[in-house]
Structure formats: structure tokens, C-alpha cells
Structure 1
Amino acid sequence: MDCASCVAKVTKAVERLPGVSAVEVNLMAERLTLHLDAPGQPEAIEAQVAALGYATKRLDGAMPTPPAGAAPAASDYDHEHERADHHGPAAGAAGPPAGHGHSHADHEDPADAAKPWWATGKAKLVWLLGALVLGAYALSLVLPERLTYPLFLAATAVALVPFGRRAIALARAGSPFSIETLMVTAAIGAAVIGAAEEAAVVVLLFAVGELLENVAAGRAREGIRALANLMPRVALRLRPDGTTEQVAPERLAVGDLVLVRPGDRVPCDGVIEEGNTALDESPVTGESVPVARGPGDAVMAGAINADGALRVRVTRAAADNTIARIIRMVEEATASRAPTQRFIERFSAWWTPGAMIVALIVILVPPFALGWDWWTSIYRGLAVLLIACPCALVISVPAAMASGLSAGARRGLLVKGGAALEAIGAARTVAFDKTGTLTEGSPKVTDVIAAEGRGVEQTIALAAAVEQGSSHPLAKAVLAEAASRAIAVPAATAQSAIPGRAMTGTVDGVAVSVGSPRHAREANAALGALEAVLDRLEGEGKTVAVVLADGAVAGLVALRDEPRPDAVAGVAAITALGVRPVMLTGDNRRTGEAIAISLGLDAKAELLPDDKLREIGKLRERGTVVMVGDGINDAPALAAANVGVAMGSGTDVALEAADATVLKDRVTGVAELIGLSRATMANVRQNVAVAVGLKGVFLVTTLAGITGLWPAILADTGATVLVTLNALRLLAWRPAR
């Protein structure tokens, strides 16, 4: 399928059939999904679509993810290779959502699917027409017109057979004012009034325009195909006896153990059980720096193992791994229309019949009002008809959106649709959750202050001894600090927890507790000179644990969930774009304000999920709001904002509720999303200006008699080419540094 016009034609034709509802046509995936009210109807659907020139292939149930290297079908002029997906009672159910584990890359004949653009049916039609037109023109230089004129008529007839057949089928299916109808009417009219030479050039240029649209659609799909190619062809599954077997990644099941050798691509989403390495995740997330991964760390499909051998336990089936989900999101996103696109489509629906009325007026009125002869008025009326072809205008928005979505996906910026992509760039406010979004998501020890007569390492050792075995985040942070300093942690006995207060235990006969300052005060422990230090640390937004040994203060351990390394740069980049960043957090006010001040943004703290919703509502009164979060408690706010953005490391709930995802898990990715949106919408405005501007110029020159039929179709074909090439520029988009 070539453009949004193809989508509209198929949708309208199928919607007219009885018992059909919920029709969705996905341009990028070349897939039709719908709901049927009774069995036995799929044949009627297929017949209706075939009448439009599109062959179909029924897909019963979920399809596997395509193998690496698979290529999409190359459509010829009558869309011989098109496919449609019908899910209804005949297949047992309404079917899975569009894109469920399936890509457009499957094809019955791999040799045909691998055809280069210049060998497709559409290209062959162009070569044939070009040869006829050029041959007739060459002969016209040496032969009389009565001998060469039939050659131009033959070239016109060759093209009008497929185009005319399609125009008639579209008229029967509810689209009487299609682009094909305009072109066929103008070409036949030109031939009738003796302008067969120009009629031949008109159909040739129209065929060239369709070929270029087909090439552009293929280029736009390359981003999705490149994602599918990230999956390796084979995976090494470990048998219970320690040997390996080669299997397709699609055959891996949750719980399988996989060997990933140095240099291999990770074939699944999973968790490392054994081995340490540096993973190159740039193909998936766009993050250029390899990241260290070891036992217990999660890995994603498509990442490249740089050095050490890994044993990875599969946690997601192939149809639900990172690559499959990205492909699904991008395919579904390209099917989602932006408000601007919906407006253009509504406008073009009135444009074409209106243009035919104007063309009729140009034919009928000037001979009486301006004294034109009938040949001139008919000729110029037909030219107006060709200028009215809305193809360039219709493709101007979806071409830019598809390119923008693909460019973002290549760089770890997933947007679920054109509406979200359009809205992000219009944001007035970006609201951030704190924990796991602006910060790392887990506390770390920032300061260790020993009491007089005690050492720092002794203080950490006592605290770590008591915290051993606890799953509390603060306990894990203390144990991690002891490990990083290579401190030997002594054994503790009689460990117990005082809920909300402290952990206690006995270390080498000494009663030790690690708890809040309130617990220390209740135990009548004198902080002395450490009182001022405690106030300072808490003023910096840090959580302070007081370590007591036999009732006396041994030291202070300060912890804080530290900002991400790029948080300051990310917030600054958003501010530089003229967007106001704010932080909405459930954390205490002192911690929230301390983090906010260090990052340079406003903060509202101690917010419950309901409070966040209210704040989002207030912000929306001032303009478009983008909410960024990563946790389950962020899901309501993500859904309530104009656009919800999830960080890639977030929960599945947040990822599903969000309209966009920053896979590289960096705050700077939010500014990149805004930049991508603005670049895409600028491209859309350029495309609309080119499409309308060229038509306006040629309309004036046509009515003035300066230009004729073939420049008129060139106005549409030329505009389509320019719009398409301009949209393809977005594929090379890179974030501003």
C-alpha cells in the first residue's frame, strides 16, 4: 500500500458491507483487521478488496515474529501482493490486536518479496509507458502525425486499463471521486479532443507518481524491518546435561536457559544467571555507551554481547519480547492518525468533488462569458481537473508522521501514534515523577559520619551487620556500601525490626541498632556535635540513619535516591526549548525540594496518586501537559496528561498507560521527544505548503493559458515527489546536542 489514500479506499469499501464493524487498515503493516457478525463473510470481504485491485491473505490467529532479514512484499500496479488480516467468528474469535506478533514481512514467495523497486509490476508499467511515449515522440520527428498519433493513443489505453478498472471498482465501493477517477476522466477527455500526446504524458506521469509513492512507502517501512532484523536467526538453548541446541528464537519458552557467546545478539528478554559482560544496547535503545551487566541483571532481545559468555534465563516469550513490542508499537502508531491528518483527510473528501464542479464551470462558462472556443475551455477544464488531484495533500501528513515515528524508534524513542507525536511538541509543561524517573530509583549511601572515637569503616560494619538479611531498600544500600569498601561484615545475632523505627541486633556482644533520628532520641542517645550534621544532611533531602552501639551514638549514615547522571542536562534541555519542567512526587517535602533545587525545577511533594491527578488537571488548564513516570502509581497521571511518557525501565503498567516510551532510560530523551515532534510538525507544514502552493501556481497559469495538461499532472506528481522526499529527510533526524 502506498499512502493514506489506499487506506481510505479499502476502509470505505469494506465498511459498506453488511455485518462488518471496527474496520482498521494499517498502512505500514499492510494489514486489515475487522469484526464480522456472522461466519462465512470473509469471502465477501476478500472479494470486495480484490475488486479494488488488492489481493488478500487471511491470517488465522497470531502469526510468529518474522525471521531476521525478511523483506516486505513489493507491490505492483494492481497491488498483486497486498495482504489483509481477517479475524472473525470464522477464525474462532475477533482475533488479536493489530500487530500481535506479526509483521508485514511474511510472504509466500521470498523471491518475489525480494524484488528491487525497479523490477516490480508498477515499475514495469512505467517502463512500458515510457518506451511507448518516447518511441512515439521519436517517430513523430520523422513521420507524419497521422502515423504517430495512434502510438500515443495506445500508450494512453495501456495505462487506462488498470487505472480505469480501479476507478470503476472504487466508484462501486463508495469512492466515486477518487484520484484515479480524476486522472482517467482527464486522460479520456484529452484523447477525445485530439490531445492524445498530452494524455499519454499525463498517464505516464501518474504512473511514475504511484511508483515513487510505492518506493517511499517501502523506505518508511525500513525502520520497522530493521528492528525485526535485530533478532538473531538462532539461539543456543542449554539442555539439562549442559550441552546446547540451536533453535529459532521464536521457539524459546519462558524459563529456558540460553547461552549467549561474546559477539552474539541476545535472542530473548531475560535475566542473567551467570556471567559478566558489557552489553551494547544501542541497536534497541540508541544508548551509545555499552553498559555493564552481571548476574541478576535484566537483558533485552537484540542487544549485542561484547565480551563475556552469559547464561540467560528467558522471562518473555518471543511474541512479547522487547523487539516484538517495539515493532507492534510502531506499526500501531503509524495507524493512529494525528489531528492534522484527520483534518486534511476531511478537507480532501470535499476537495475532489469541489474540484470537479470547478472544472465543469471552467468548461461551460468561459465560452459564453469570455468568448473562449470550446476546445480551449474543455482543455483548460481538464487541466484544472488534474491539478485538483489531492494525492500530494493527502500524503503530506502521514508520510511525515511515518518517517518521524520510524526515526524515533531507531533512536529509542517510541511514540504510540501521530496524535501523541503532534501533541508532544506543543507541550507547555513537562511533569516528572521523582523516584525512578529523575532519580536512579534506589537509595545509595552518600555520607558516613563517625562519632568521636569511632571510625567510618567501623560504623558501616556495625550497620551492615544488623541489616544483613533485610530486603529493605535502605538495608540493601548499606550492604552495597560495605561491599564497595571491601569491609568485612561481622555476624549479628538476635536481629529484629522495630516497624518504622529501626533494625536491632547483637554484634560481638554489643547491642546495635540502626534507625531513625526519632528512634535515637526515644532511646535517650545524645547526638552532641552530630546534631548539627544531622540537620544539614536532612536539609539536603537525605534520609539519615543513626547507628547506636550499647545506647551510644556510633555514627550517622546518610542515604538518598540520587538524581540520574543526565537529569540536570535533561531538565536544562527542556527549559531551553521553552517548556516548563515540574516535579510531582510522593516523597517528603524536604527531600523533594532538595532534589528539585539541585536539578533546577519546581516541585510539589507528598502527593498521593489522586493528588497527582489533580495537579495534572490544574496544569492542563494552562496548556498541553506531558507527564513522565515509571511506576504503577504513575499510571493514572500518565493517562490523565495530554501525553504520557514512560521511562524504559518502568513497570509494564506504566509502559501500557503511556503514549510514548524513552527506551534509553535517560531524562534527556524527553527533550529529544519534544525535538522530534517539532521537527515532524515543521515537516508537515512544509509538505502542506508545497502541496497547496504548487497547485495554486499551476491553477493560475492553467487558467491564463500558460500551462497545459502535462504540467497540470506534473503539479500533482511533482508535489507528491517533493513531499515524499521531504518526509524521508526525517529518517535522518538526530537529536540536537
Structure 2
Amino acid sequence: MDKAVEAPEPAQDGDCCGCGHDRAPDAGEARAPAGHTRWTVEGMDCASCAATIERALAGLPGVSDIRVSVANGTMALALDETLTDDATVGKTVSALGYRATRLGETERAVETGEGGEAGRRWWRMPKARHALFGGMLVAAAFAADTLLPELGRWAFLVAILVVAWPVARRAVTAARLGSPFTIEMLMTVAVIGAVVIGETAEAAVVVFLFAVGEVLEGLAAAKARSGLKALGALIPRTALVEEDGGLREVAAADLRIGQTVAVRAGERVPADGTVLDGLSNVDEAAITGESVPVTKEPGARAFAGSVNHEASLRVRVDRAPEDTTIARIVTLVEEAQEAKAPTERFIDSFSRYYMPAVVAAALLVAVLPPLLGYGGWQDWAYRGLALLLIGCPCALVISVPAAIASGLSSAARHGMLVKGGAVMEMLAKAETVAFDKTGTLTRGEPAVTDIVARDGDGARVLALAAALEAESSHPLAKAICERADAEEAPRPVAEAVRTVAGKGVAGRVGGRDVFVGAPRFALEAGEMDEALRETARTLEADGKTVAIVMEAGVAQGVIGLRDEPRADAADGIAALGRAGIDAVMLTGDNARTAQAIAGELGLKARAEMLPEAKVEAVRELAAGRTVVMVGDGVNDAPALASASVGIAMGSGTDVAMEAADAGLMRSAVLDVARLIGLACTTMRTIRQNVAIALGLKAVFLVTTVIGATGLWVAVLADTGATVLVTLNAMRLLMALKPATARRRQDAMPPEGAPEPA
């Protein structure tokens, strides 16, 4: 059967200037393997930075498998310290104009806003100070040129030298280390060329605009990382540990499994654990996406990073700090942002050929027309230099990773974890969604749905049944007792309670024999009138489990139970249907129950399926279509792995979460439609970004060749396009909206749609 397992476990887990599938690649492809060192890198703004660093480090002996992530500001590499040490790696990265710091084994790469680039005001950043100083020098040069024209050229040369020197140094270093085609090199060549042809004033403006552009790109990149940094900031820094009858403040990172921590009202829970004492409402929105605070009482699970609202709680730590739910979410998002989507890989590959082609085209523009007699050398040399700057593909290459990173961060903020950009791309192509039933479309545990009494006294029938079932651990018994407690039904004392193997439970209540069991066995214990028999048949036809309550040999009533659909299941299926996405239920349950649930929710059903049958069904559905499988149990893992994209419910098992490509932390069916909608919006944003990048370049390419625009406009075009595509991508960090691509505009539920329970 496809029964849910109870423990809710979360998922474990460039070259912008130079350089039809069946299943999305696993997130593990981007994961730094054991034995790799991990570093934070400050100063990276775009994919060109990553490509330059990768090429430079690849030339060092003992350095291999380099993985640089602009989205996270990190890099991982395999390092043979007998050939190259940490200091050499750091110096090499520093020579390129960045700052690399090695992380310890348990240190996180996520900045929390109290250090590094995230903790500085923009005007305190080195690039910003350099741009401000450069601006003053250029302004002074213009003033000198106006007041003392004979000194103007020299003033501009001084400004150029000061502002362009760091750029030129990085260009030469990158070229020496294997990256000759970088924006720094193009800028250096363009400025030198402008000085040679006598355009010193414009050269000064160009280098100043370039410096300003670097600041803007840095700010945009930092903002794009804000979603992940916000997650990292949720992890508390300190905790109050109970020791020797008192409380002692310790670093949260030093907590050990088995310790007891006190969480006062208004504080964040410092570690994952079990509540030992106290009753309070806790806000888990940052971890599960659940908008309503959850009541925590003894025995309940508490997650690190959640906020305790009302009263103090005592929590026993049961996970190490590096293995808490929020830490694992951050790790998953980091790894997912490092995994390149197919579109991103194509753009990266394209840029390696594009850049040399731009240099060749600029050279032809500068040389060919004057050779053929169409103008002077200086004029065409100027246009060729401008073309060098226009051709830089910064905006084109950053357009994809910026959108993917923002989409992944937005999903994580809403309790939807996606293992990489490749999964996002595949989700946007979804045509069929296959659901498991128990624990996915339904709650995963039975509940009492109907109570029909022979004499109309349903409360007495429920009380009799609860009296016998009170000591049983059977799920049906638990459901009956929970319903009795909810209705505050009287609980008479039962005596001589015994289980009748395979049939039900019997005992004595108030001196009278009572039996609770299935209809076919109830007749063995006494009589049942035709009205109750018909009621039992009707409930069974609706896919419900029926229990007959017998007293003194006479049927007193019928209780119907069923694993009911989740509150948002029907809305979630309807949202998929409005988007033109087919939905089907694959379940190991019996056909009658499956059809009843499927009919209520409005989707097709295939019942009585073993795990291998589910795999075959997914493969059959996937013939020529993109299939998403949603499940939660161990038996769903093979089907999740076989689908184009596997989505695991957060209430499911670790096995299901590991096999899946995405996870829904709050186990909401509506979130399937929301996630597909977000994926479609992400892909639409990518298309918009590519159009912006290529469109602006096409326009200014023409205006540059015909001489309508010059060097400084070329710099503005490149920098402006990069900032525009980054800002456009950052819109995905906003709250999820019902806006998606192609036919998916209805895949997202309307603004007034109910939130999942």
C-alpha cells in the first residue's frame, strides 16, 4: 500500500565576457564531493568572474574539479596541498581582484549580514570608493581642461591612469593565467586605443562609467543573493542550555544531541528537537512556508529558526547544528544554485565562441573600411573600439543564472525546495502530474466521516466504540477516539476488552457485551436491521471503511471512516486542470476507495498498484510527455526517480525526499501548481532577459557601426543591460503571484485561494 510514514523530514542535503531530455539532472551533479575545500569569494558580480577564476586556478598544480558559484559567492575545489597550499590559491584569486577565504568543515558559506560584502554599506565597498575617487578625478580633469586647456590632456591622462590601473592589472593577470578575453581586457584595449587616437576625455569618461557599472553590478548581485542570506540569518547564534539546574548561554553551533535548551517567548528555536515542556504557538513560516503559527506541546517537533511567540518551551536537541532543517534547506538551495540549467550551459558554451568573434569583428570594422577607402583610419578605429565594448556578453550570460537563483530562493522562502535550475526548466514543461494517494492527496491517516445510530443517538454509539478502542494502537481505533475527544463524548469504562483476531474488538460496557468490527463479522455477533445494512453498503460504496457497533447482540450504529483528502487537494487539482495539465492518481489502495477519492477530487485513478507497477505507469505516461510524480512514501521512491521530475511531500520519508528533485515542506497539493507556476515564470523571465540583452546589443551595434554612438554609450549599453536583466530576475524574489508562462497563467491559484492547512 502507499501508506505515509510519519516522520516529517526535509530534503538533505561564468563567462559573460570571455569566454529534449527525459529526466532532469540530479542536484548531486553540482555538489562538492568529500575531500573538496570550500571558499567564500567576495567581489564576484557575474559569470565572467567565475570563468576567470576557474581558468586561473586550473593552471595551478594539484588543483582540480573547480566549481565557482556566482549566485552563492562561493567556490569548491579539489586541492592537493603537497603541490599547492591554501595561501597560493588565495593569492591567485586576489591577483584577479577578488578576495577568497577558506571555510572550515562546519562553517556555512551563507552570509548573515554581519560581515563580508553583505555587512557593508555600498559606499564602503572598495569598488565604490574607487568609483567615487575616479569620479572626482574625472570632474577635476574637465575643470582643468576648461580653465587651463594646455593642461587638460594631462589631467585626463592622470585620471585614466588612476582609474584604469586596477582594471588593466586584472586584465593582464587574467590573460597570464589563461583568460585573455575578459571585459577588463576589452576595456583596457579600448581605453589605450582611445588615448592613441586622441580621445582622452572620452577615455576618461569610459573608465569612470565602467567603474560605476561594476558598483551597480555588485549591488545587483548582492541583492540577488539576499534570499539565501535571509535563510542563513534565521539560524540563531546563541542558545540557553540547561546545566546543573540553571541556564548557560552557549553558541548554537556548539549544541550537542541530547542537550535541553530553553526557548523564551520572542526567541528563535536554536536547534531541531522535541518539545519536553511548555505550550506555545510557534511561527514556522520560514521553514515550512506555513503562514499560521503552529501550536507546540510536549512531544511536538520544533525546528531551528522558527519563532516562539507566547510562552517558554523546553526543547531536547535531536539534530546536530549542521544537520538542522534550516541548515539542510540552505545547503540544498546552495547546491541547487550551483547546478547549471541546460539553457545556462548552452549560453556559457556559446559565449566562449562569441567573444573571440566579437574581437575579430571589431578588428575588421577598424581596418577593412579604411582599406577599402570608406573613411579615415581614426574614425573607424574609434568605431571598432566601441564595438569591442558593445559586444561584451555580460548581460546575456548573467540573464539565466540570475533568474534561476532568484527562482530557487523564492521557492525556498515559500517552503518549496528545488534541486537546481535543470529541475526548474523541466517543471515549466510539465504536461502530466501523477499523484500518490495516501499521504499525498490525502492526510495519510483515517478520520471518522459518518456516525449513523439505530435510534438516532450518535453520541452514544461513538462513546461505546471509543470505550473499547481506547487502549488500541490501530489507526482506526485512534481515529474513533480522536473523534470522541473532539465531540467531548462521554467515555464509559470498558471491561474484559479483547481483540478478536482479524475481526474486531470485544468487551463489556455497563455490564453489557459490546463488539466493534467489520459488517461481515458483526452479523456473527448478533442482529442488524436492514436500514443499517443499507447504510453500511452505501458507505463502503463511497470507499469508506465501516465499523459496526453491537451491544447485547443488536447493532446500535454504523461508523464510517476514511483517509480524507487534504483540504486543498481539490483546489490543487483544479488549478492544474485550468493550466491544461493532466492529473492522475497512482495508488496501491483498492479500486473502490481509489475511484471514490478520484471522483471527489476530479482526476483519473489507477488502483491496486505495487511500487514496480507505479514505475511502469510513470514510464508509460512519460512516452512523449513531461511527467511530474508527487509522492511521500518509501514505495513512491522508484516512481519519483523514474519521472521527469519527482516531487516529495514534506510529510513523507527521507527515502522519498532523497529520490525526488523537489520537496514541498508544508505538504500542500496547491503547492504543486504554485511550483509549476513559479517555474514557468522563471523561464519567462529568462526569455525576457535574453531578449533585453540581445536587443540592446543589436540596437547599439548598428548605431556604433554607423557612427551614431561612441565609447561611453557602449559602456552604458553593456552595464545597463547587465543591471536590467539582474533587476528583472530579482522580481522573482517577491511573493508568489498568479503569473506564469504559456498556458500556465491559471496554474497558480487566485489571490483569494485558501492556504493549505
TM-score using structure 2 length? 0.87
Comparing 704-713 with 496-505, which one deviates more in the overlay? 496-505
Unaligned runs of 5+ in 2: 1-43, 739-750, 752-757
CA contact (8 A) 2:224 2:726 kept: no
Aligned to 1:22: 65
The residue that corresponds to 2:84 in the other structure is 41
Figure out how many residues of one structure are paired with residues of the other and give that number. 695
Q: CA deviation at 1:511?
A: 4.4
1:325 alignment counterpart: 328
The offset of 1:614, in angstroms, is 1.5
Matched residue, 2:41: none
Q: Which one of the candidate residues 434, 437, 441 is aligned to 1:434?
A: 437
Deviation sequence 1:455-494 (CA, Å, 0-9, x none): 4233323322332332221111111122222234344455
1:126 to 110, 125, 131: 131
Q: Deviations over 1:70-113 (max 9, x none)?
A: 43512xxxxxxxxxxxxxxxxxxxxxxxxxxxxxxxxxxxxxx7
Q: Deviations over 1:527-554 (max 9, x none)?
A: 5322211121112221112233455433
Structure 1, residues 220-256: CA drift from partner, whole Å, max 9, x if none? Answer: 2222222222234433333463x33333322332222
Shift of 1:11: 2.1
Q: SS where residue 734 of structure 1 aligns?
A: coil
Provide the residue aligned with 1:301 in structure 2.
304
Gaps of 5+ in 1: 75-112
Q: Which amino acid aligns with 2:259?
A: D
Judge conservation of contact 1:179–1:390 (CA < 8 Å) in 2: no
1-structure distance, mates of 2:108, 2:558? 56
> Which one-letter code corresponds to 1:357 in the other structure?
A
1:123-202 matched pairs, under 5 angstroms: 123-144=128-149, 146-202=150-206
1:237/1:256 contact within 8 Å kept: yes
- Structure with the bigger RCO (C-alpha within 8 Å, sep 6+) is 2
Paired residues for 1:373-412 under 5 Å: 373-412=376-415
Alignment deviations for residues 18-68 of structure 1 (CA, whole Å, 9 cap, x no partner)? 44333222324332222235644334534443432333323342226989x
CA contact (8 A) 1:64 1:250 kept: no
Is the 8 Å Cα contact of residues 26 and 332 (structure 1) preserved in structure 2? no
Secondary structure of 1:442's aligned partner: coil
Is 1:712 matched with 2:675? no
Whether the aligned pair in 2 keeps the contact of 1:627 and 1:638 (CA below 8 Å) is: yes
Matches within 5 A, 1:671-690: 671-690=673-692
Counterpart residue type for residue 130 of structure 1: G
Find the counterpart in structure 2 of residue 611 from structure 1. 613
SS in 2 for 1:23: strand
* Deviation by residue 1:401-446 (Cα, 9 ceiling, x = unmatched): 2222222222222222111122222211222222222222211111
Contact 1:26 1:334 (8 Å CA) reproduced: yes
Please, what is the CA RMSD of the aligned residues?
2.4
Flag the 1:152–1:511 CA change in 2: closer, same or farther, 3 A: same
- SS at the partner of 2:45? coil
Equivalent pair of 2:103/2:109 in contact (CA under 8 Å): no
1 CA distance for matches of 2:81 and 2:215?
38
Percent of residue pairs bearing the same amino acid type: 51
Q: Is the 8 A contact 2:618 2:642 kept in 1?
A: yes
Residue 268 of structure 1 aligns to a residue whose secondary structure is: coil
Which residue identity does 1:164 align to in structure 2? A
Pairing 1:447-462 to 2, within 5 Å after superposition: 447-451=450-454, 455-462=457-464
Which secondary structure state, in structure 1, belongs to the residue aligned with residue 107 of structure 2? coil
Q: TM-score of the superposition, structure 1-length normalised?
A: 0.89
**Paired residue type of 2:140:** G
- Partner of 1:56, secondary structure, is strand
Partner of 1:567: 569
Structure 1 residue 597: Cα displacement: 1.5
Match of 1:110 in 2: none
Amino acid paired to 2:226: E
| Letter paired with 2:48 | S
1:349 maps onto 2:352 in alignment: yes
Contact 1:65–1:250, Cα closer than 8 Å, also in 2 = no
SS at match of 1:141: helix
Q: Does 1:666 align with 2:668?
A: yes
Aligned pairs (5 A) from 1:635-654: 635-654=637-656
Which residue identity lines up with residue 416 of structure 1 in the other structure? K
Q: How far apart are residue 606 of structure 1 and its match?
A: 1.7
Distance 1:22 1:618 in 2: 38
Q: Report the equivalent of 1:104.
A: none
Q: Which amino acid aligns with 1:42?
A: D
Q: Secondary structure at the match of 2:274?
A: strand
Secondary structure class of the residue paired with 1:699 = helix
Q: Which residue of 2 aligns with 1:358?
A: 361
| Cα drift, residue 689 of structure 1 | 0.8
d(CA) in 2 for partners of 1:525, 1:182: 94
For the residues of structure 2 that align with 1:527 and 1:132, how far apart are their CA atoms? 100
1:109 match: none
2:488 maps to 486
Once the 2 structures are TM-superposed, how far is the Cα of residue 669 of structure 1 from its aligned partner?
1.5
Q: Distance in 1 between matches of 2:311 and 2:707?
A: 74
Q: Of 206, 210, 217, which residue of structure 2 is paired with 1:213?
A: 217
Answer yes or no: is the 8 Å Cα contact 1:567–1:667 preserved in 2: yes
Q: Is 1:541 the counterpart of 2:585 in the alignment?
A: no
CA distance in 1, matches of 2:129, 2:79: 37
**Do the aligned partners of 1:65 and 1:318 also contact (CA within 8 Å) in 2?**
no
Q: d(CA) in 1 for partners of 2:78 and 2:230?
A: 31
> Which residue, out of 584, 588, 611, partners 2:586?
584
CA distance in 2, matches of 1:481, 1:65: 48
> Match of 2:7?
none
CA contact 2:60–2:84 (8 Å) conserved in 1:
no
Cα distance in 2 for residues equivalent to 1:346 and 1:521: 74
Aligned pair partner of 1:11 in 34, 49, 54: 54
- Cα drift, residue 283 of structure 1: 3.2
Q: SS of the counterpart of 1:529?
A: helix
* Worse-matched range after superposition: 437-446 or 524-533: 524-533
Tell me what 2:19 maps to.
none
SS in 2 for 1:319: helix
Alpha-carbon separation, structure 2, partners of 1:134 and 1:710: 15
What secondary structure, in the 3-state scheme, does the structure 2 residue paired with 1:426 have?
coil
Larger deviation: 361-370 or 515-524? 515-524
Secondary structure in structure 2 of the residue aligned to 1:259: strand
Structure 1's 703 and 290: CA in aligned 2 closer, same or farther, altered over 3 A? same
CA gap 1:65/1:397 in 2 versus in 1, 3 angstroms: closer
Matches of 2:215 and 2:490, distance apart in 1: 72
Match of 1:32 in 2: 75
Query: C-alpha displacement at 1:680, in angstroms?
Result: 1.6
- For residue 278 of structure 1, give the secondary structure of its aligned residue in structure 2: strand
Indicate conservation of the 8 Å contact 1:628/1:644, yes or no. yes
Question: Match of 1:271?
Answer: 274
Q: Please list the CA deviations of residues 624-672 of structure 1 after superposition, one character each: whole Å capped at 9, or x if unmatched.
A: 2222222222222222222222223222222232222222332222222
Give distance in 2, aligned partners of 1:634 and 1:456.
Answer: 39
Say whether the 8 Å CA contact 2:71–2:401 is kept in structure 1: no
